[in-house]
Amino acid sequence: MFKKILIANRGEIACRVAATARRLGIKTVAVYSEADANAKHVAVCDEAVLIGPAAAKESYLRGDKIIAVAKATGAQAIHPGYGFLSENAEFADACAEAGLVFIGPPASAMRAMGSKSAAKSLMEKAAVPLVPGYHGDNQDADFLNREADRIGYPVLLKASAGGGGKGMRVVDNSDAFKEALASCKREAISSFGDDKVLAEKYLQRPRHIEIQVFADTLGNCIYLFERDCSVQRRHQKVLEEAPAPNMTDERRAAMGEAAVAAAKAVGYVGAGTVEFIANQDGSFYFMEMNTRLQVEHPVTEMITGTDLVEWQLRVAAGEPLPKKQDELRIHGHAIEARIYAENPEKGFLPSIGTLRHLDTPDAVNFELGGIPGHPSGVRIDSGVREGDAISPFYDPMIAKLIVWGADRKQALARMSQALAQYQIVGLAANIAFLKRLVEGEAFATADLDTGLIERNHDALFPAAQPAAEGALALAAVALIEAEKDASAAQSGANAADPWGQALGWRMNNAYTRGLSFTDDYAAALPAKAYNVQITYRDADWLFNLPACAEAQPERLSLMSQQGTDFSIKLGDTAWHGSVRRDGDVFHVFTGGAHYALAYNDPMAHAGEAEADGGRLTAPMPGKVVAVLAEKGRQVKKGDALVIMEAMKMEHTISAPHDGLVEDVLYAVGDQVADGAPLLAFKAAA
């Protein structure tokens, strides 16, 4: 076994690999960019070396620098994690030439599977079922358009060298083909340096099921059952679970054997994932093979009691697979939710900022074998801590939340509970959306397909609801108690002077004050205002919402407080919650919900809705990749004006109204800052 390895990755990926290495007594070397100098993965490894600026192409994608660091630190092997260089055959070759073990498959296998079109040809020869499509080299736009017409719409365009949902477009008709092709190729060349695409029939209501395979250098190859990854947005996975619901033993064996055949066809070694698209009738087709460990591998670990990173290390060291096919069993059910810094209500736009408050549910550290018996059945894989920043340079994942249950029903209940306990302040996150998704009828009843989110859009994106009365009361109590504490700290020798303290004391009458809050979520725009009336009394308060005709003053009392955790009683109802103040915004976590209430700040989000034209702005830092409107052009509401690329995804800036483009302020290739005006726009009268 290795004594020291270098982990050529960052974030939760590097932390995950380091956890297993530490358990096995293997020393680890981290590499980091200037943006990651204080990152968690730097802290958890035994050594850490700076390799370049923030941009991945100047740091984490510099294989030459990484190999030099490995040699200088005495590492014997390099674990690429998943992403970055993990599927780069040239890097694997360079490791071998430098006398280092690449903890992954042979470069030949990566080359064979790295091109989706070439992989499909190989799979056809290996008798693995394929989706009808065109996987050839001819990239002429007119030719591809004719092929799409032949296949029949809808058609899925995919970057041949792609992965992670990048460079994919669904085309509904021939007229829309060339525009979608151009967009797909732009994203493909930006993400993978190769704009070759393939076209396939887009199946209606398919499921995305993948098989975890593992092979050693001694000719053994097995499958560790399946994962259902059907729940996706923008072709990127949101929830994953194992085993796949409603999977028969016969179908599981057929898919597993097909996956092993695919791996053997390319002389595979190590961990890999063979992805299938499956119809509701049980038929399935090869989609692609990811020649690396997958982000969602923990659900497989949870149901099989295996450590797949340990298996990677052992296989790379020349050892046989730890288990044979007949020794593997499925135990219980596991679900993984990807917690991202993003705003689902704004098209899943990535969010950047600082995690000013981060509180997670009780979870067990990564020690396989102990998970199923752990009282919480919860595991968290994360590469960030409270106080860390989510930057525009890398994927906006905050954590992977994984739960295990004796069956799917228990796993669902645990996931719902864990999401309710997850608290984030400082940037937008998808936690509330994930909770609606997990608790929604479609997912709860395993009515799964890759269009689940779109199919259940109204239920998953409900109209903004007014803040709960108890949430407003918790915010009011937190504010009043904070004022008391500040007043007591300042009063000093005058502590007995009632005039010098913020206790609401009055000589001849009760003191009634108004507190003004507004919703601080984009989903609530136009922002809803709440005017809360508080009347101070000797031992409690009277709480009222005067704007509500049916509202009556209710007794409000503080039952207990421990730091930011409050228990109050409003009328006859007890409310318990945590209140975190971030500037003038009170973040109230209660009843599994998160309310962001801006205190006396009605202008906090006046600029977000750009409803009347003016200057359309960049939603986040990024690069202009296309300008579709010139100065002086009349446009219609919804017309695409500028396309930006940020955090590996394209974002289209569209006209908010019919109007006139008065000026275009940036050109293709320009870098723009968050909030920078992109165009001067005048709405039609």
Structure tokens at 464: 């903004």
Cβ–Cβ under 8 Å, residues 553 and 543: yes
Structure tokens at 649: 């995804």
Structure tokens at 55: 């941009």
Cβ–Cβ under 8 Å, residues 618 and 597: no
Phi, psi (rounded to 5 degrees) for 78: -125, 125
* Cα distances (Å, whole numbers) of residue 446 to 226, 232, 453: 15, 14, 13
* Cα distances (Å, whole numbers) of residue 112 to 80, 82, 276, 324, 329: 19, 18, 17, 26, 31
| Residues classed as catalytic | 292
Q: Residue 463 and residue 458: Cα distance in Å, rounded?
A: 8
Structure tokens at 257: 């054997």
Structure tokens at 606: 């006046």
Structure tokens at 98: 């430098």
Residue 577 makes CB contacts below 8 A (sequence gap 6+) with: 470, 471, 474, 565, 566, 588, 589, 590, 591
For the purposes of burial, counting CB atoms within 10 Å of the CB of 161, is it exposed (0-12), middle (13-18) or buried (19 or more)?
buried
* Residue where the block lists tokens 């300042």: 490
Structure tokens at 15: 């932390």
Structure tokens at 505: 């004391």
Structure tokens at 247: 């999977």
SS3 state at 498 = helix
* Residue where the block lists tokens 């509330």: 432
Phi, psi (rounded to 5 degrees) for 119: -65, -40
Q: Which amino acid is at 164?
A: G
| Beta-carbon count within 10 A of 558 CB | 17
**Helix or strand run (H / E) with residue 316:** helix 308-316
Cβ–Cβ under 8 Å, residues 513 and 534: yes
Query: What's the Rg (C-alpha) of the chain?
Result: 28
Supply the DSSP string of 121-182, one letter for each residue.
Answer: HHHHHTT--B-SEE-SS---HHHHHHHHHHH-SSEEEEETT--TTTTEEEE-SGGGHHHHHH
Q: Residue 443 and residue 437: Cα distance in Å, rounded?
A: 7
